[in-house]
Amino acid sequence: MSINILYFGMLAEISGQAKESFPGKENMTVKDLKEQLFEKYPQLREKKFKVAINQKIGDDGMIIPSSAEIALLPPFAGG
């Protein structure tokens, strides 16, 4: 399965792109995905961010559904 990942703010600067298609596997958790992203972009390890799955904030244990839209969200700064 493939998942679409969106990067925002400082995280897009680290990945060098606003979005990418990422190879996922069945029953992949948010934590599994993060580990793969840390391999690819070591600088992400240092950063604070939340993960949204189909526009809802998720936690590490959540399973990523196939063809999900995943967004990596750095600290919020609205207001």
Binding site for another protein (CB under 8 A): 6, 8-10, 52, 55, 71, 73-79
Q: Give the nearer residue to another protein in terms of CB position, either 42 or 75.
A: 75
- CA angle (51 as vertex; 7, 68 as ends), nearest 5: 80
- By CB neighbour count within 10 A (0-12 exposed, 13-18 middle, 19+ buried), where does 79 fall? exposed
Q: Give the nearer residue to another protein in terms of CB position, either 13 or 39.
A: 13
Q: Give the nearer residue to another protein in terms of CB position, either 8 or 22.
A: 8
* Alpha-carbon distances of 48 from 9, 11, 23, 68, rounded to whole Å: 12, 10, 23, 22
Closest CB 38 distance from another protein, rounded Å: 20
Closest CB 10 distance from another protein, rounded Å: 5
